[in-house]
Amino acid sequence: MQAFQYQDRELFVEDVPLAQIADTFGTPCYVYAESALTQAYSAYSNAFAGIDHLVCYALKANSNLAVIRHFASLGSGFDTVSIGEIRRVLAAGGEAGKIVFSGVGKSADEMRQALEIGIHCFNVESVNELERLNRVAGEAGKRAPISLRVNPNVDARTHPYISTGLKNNKFGIAYEQALDTYRRAAALPNLNVIGIDCHIGSQLTDATPLIDALDRLLVLVDQLGEAGIRLKHVDIGGGLGIRYDHETPPDVAAYAAAIKQRLAGRGLSLLLEPGRSLVGNAGVLLTRIEYLKQGDGKHFAIVDAAMNDLMRPSYYQAYHQIRPVTRRDDAVATYDVVGPVCESSDFLGKDRELAVQEGDLLAVMSAGAYGATMSSNYNTRPRGAELLVSGDSVRLVRARETFEQLIANEIGLLDGND
């Protein structure tokens, strides 16, 4: 995380001390480094240079409008899984023609809106969805551009909650059923079959399963061509992991070289849908220690951030490095870093060696992906602010919620419920 470095004893984001951000905007808050977003996106765009490709940022990782706008300014497309995410892309200035719409449960209303907006492609995940989309497109007098998400039954060897390419997962069309499903799609009058898609999981630290999945897709592409169904693009999804602790993520350039070799001479454009690898290491969750508590054989650092702010540790048993914002020479102790939410699962990290005092700031690292987007108001806790830093400039890109905002959709209904 090159954008987050110590200068003397203070942790900085780019040219700004994190302590200054905490003093100005309060805690907990998310802080993103614009340079890290640019660097991560450029790694993909440079690696796949020389072939027709579109990097579609997976919005579910971090859907802040400022983050979306920054990627749009770099030429990015967008992978979305709801009409809300599509509308976020448009609100941030993204191009409708660079949006792909994924997800297993698209409603008819979402389909109608996406058709009207003019998105690039629907990634269809079931025969029933094909039939619905054909009907909705016909009613709208349009032909829907589609790609079938094929489930290649490849083990991503990642956490089971973020593995999506096995036959027992809810995602995609079974590999063995793909040819027949494509034939059905090609026969439907209101669909335009343009691509093939897969996504086998997230946080992969070995690119081999991703390459295996592409190889299986390309067998299908050849079979489809023999059947007279010629595709325009192949969408290889996302999934490349990042370093949270001691992981060794795949090299993007080597991954791209393997992809480019397999696509050479096929006349197919390439779509890819990175999310975590674009934003994960571009952000931190900044939190302040409220109390240091000595339990029965266990030290606790009780902070003002909680599982509602960052769900990953309690939900996935995920590991995030936790760094003191100010380095001290005090004695080091082993702490569980926990929040104030009334759950034993409310922790940000366990057994961490820290030299800290009450009132100190901590930075939970690698929190740019699936942090703010998965946050909630559990225990009636307002979600924190989000800041975007560029050089020595700090921009508030999402204000901290207020209590009044939390109850706004309820307060006017009180009299009617008495």
**What are the residue numbers of the active site?**
342
In this structure, are residues 61 and 41 in contact, taking their beta carbons and an 8 Å threshold? no
**Rounded to whole angstroms, what are the CA distances from 62 to 56, 86, 279?**
13, 13, 7
Strands (E), 34-85: 53-58, 77-80
Task: Report DSSP letters for 374-404, one per residue.
Answer: G---TTT-PPPEEEEEETTEEEEEEPPP-HH
**Contacts of 22 by beta carbon, 8 Å cutoff, 6+ apart:** 29, 286, 288, 325, 361
* 160 annotated to bind ligand: no
Instruction: State yes or no: 313 annotated in a binding site.
Output: no
Q: Assign 295 to helix, strand or coil.
A: coil
For the CA atoms of the chain, what is the radius of gyration? Answer: 23
Q: Is residue 370 a known part of a binding site?
A: yes
Query: Is 30 marked as binding a ligand?
Result: no
- Whole-number Å distance between alpha carbons of 142 and 156: 37
Q: Comparing C-alpha atoms, which of 384, 358, 403, 353 is closest to residue 285? A: 384
Ramachandran quadrant class, 366 (left: phi over 0; alpha: psi -120 to 50; beta: rest): left
**Quick count: other Cβ atoms within 10 Å of Cβ 159?**
14
CA separation for the pair 83, 108 (Å, rounded): 11
Which of helix, strand or coil describes residue 247? coil
Q: Was 276 annotated as part of a binding site?
A: yes
**CA–CA–CA angle 169, 171, 173 (5° rounding):** 105
How big, in percent rounded to 5, are the helix, strand and coil portions of the chain? 35, 25, 40
DSSP string of 121-175?
Answer: EEEE-SHHHHHHHHHHHHHHT--EEEEEEEE------S-GGGB--STTSSSSEEG
Q: Is the peptide bond before 28 cis (omega within 30 degrees of 0)?
A: yes
Question: Is there a binding annotation on residue 343?
Answer: yes
Annotated binding site: 239, 273-276, 312, 316, 343, 370
User: Which residues define the annotated binding site for pyridoxal 5'-phosphate?
Assistant: 239, 273-276, 370
Binding residues for substrate: 276, 312, 316, 343, 370
